[in-house]
Amino acid sequence: MQSVDLSRPLPFHLERLKGHAWVYQERLESLDRVMNMIRIDSRDIDLLSISNRHLALASEALHGAAAPARAFEHLQQMHYLGIKGYKRKLMVDGDTLSVKIPADTLVLKSLPADNRFLSYADWTIYFWSAVLHDQYQDITYLVSIKEADNFNWELDPPSHMMSDILAGFFRVKAGDVAALIQDFVSATEFDKISTASYEHVANVTLPTIDVMLKIFGGAEESQYRQAMYLALQSHDKFYSLPRMAGHSVGDISLPLTALAKLAYRKFGYTLGFYSDYIPEYIYQIEDQAISFEQLEPIS
């Protein structure tokens, strides 16, 4: 691995988000209005959409309002509602699902048959959030459902291959991880997938795999830190591409933050450098139960 200078500041492609606490406050109020309507009529509630709102609010709380503790609460809600949303998508006619929200518990019926499609991109997000929140029963659940007919992995075979790699790393599914990685690398060469997919694989997926290899392989802290630093450089490179301009995404790396927490818990490893993409508060926080209290504006 190339030697890197960990004292050299890492760039952050969304510096413009910082210092705008009012954006967080306005969008929190917007979520409150949505939740108030849901308490009146929850038939059409889209749990995955509410989950995505919490992910966006986590970003705004962290970077706009400089409130990492609040950001963590939103990430907890994001994961809880995302897993509930997945379970609802897999329900059959006649099933019901209980979902806690502030000041209420909803009992939801199954969705129409034409509204049960599941996204492989969301699967990856919730896998990593399960790792972040130490919800290993959710990791097992996600692996158990990934071959359901609700997914259409044929649209993105590399993502299906990556799901097998993740299942192997976390020992949820038997498999030769080294062989799976080699197959993935071969299948994602430049001339075999679209340019956009290749850019994501080269700058996001493969560096993340390298960090996993360091952690699960028991690498020294110095090796782990260098792998993380390079992965974050590549992460910034991807989200700084011209085609990503105007998209306020990628400001929290869920995979790398989850892996940072795993390394911290398993070995006591820290990053040894600052990065906006991996909030120190979130990867070093002690476990805490999810709260279903109403989130008040930040004073």
Q: What percent of the chain has pLDDT over 90?
A: 84
- The answer, yes or no, to whether residue 165 has pLDDT greater than 60, is yes
What's the maximum distance between 2 C-alpha atoms anywhere in the chain?
A: 58
Task: Specify the pLDDT at position 51.
Answer: 96
The better pLDDT of the pair 30, 103 is held by 30
Task: Specify the pLDDT at position 1.
Answer: 55
- Mean pLDDT of the residues in the chain: 94
Task: Specify the pLDDT at position 235.
Answer: 97
Q: Name beta bridge partners: 99.
A: 106
pLDDT digits (tens, 9 = 90+) for 127-155: 999 999 999 999 999 999 999 999 988 77
pLDDT digits (tens, 9 = 90+) for 172-230: 999 899 999 999 999 999 999 999 999 999 999 999 999 999 999 999 999 999 999 99
Q: What is the pTM of this model?
A: 0.95
* Cα(138)–Cα(127) distance, integer angstroms: 8
Strand 104-109, strand 96-101: pairing: antiparallel
What is the SS3 assignment for the chain? CCCCCCCCCCCCCCHHHCCCHHHHHHHHHHHHHHHHHHHHCCCCCCHHHHHHHHHHHHHHHHHHCCCHHHHHHHHHHHHHHHHHHHHHHCCCCCCEEEEEECCEEEEEECCCHHHCCCCHHHHHHHHHHHHHCCCHHHHHHHHHHCCCCCCCHHHCHHHHHHHHHHHHHCCCCCCCHHHHHHHHHHHCCCCCCCHHHHHHHHHHHHHHHHHHHHHHCCCCHHHHHHHHHHHHHHHHHHHCCHHHCCCCCCCCCHHHHHHHHHHHHHHCCCCCCCCCCCCHHHHHCCCCCCCCCCCCCCC
pLDDT digits (tens, 9 = 90+) for 24-49: 999 999 999 999 888 888 777 899 99
Instruction: Categorize the per-residue pLDDT at 2 as very low, low, confident or very high, splitting at 50, 70 and 90.
Output: low
173, two tokens: 């599914």
- The answer, yes or no, to whether residue 122 has pLDDT greater than 60, is yes
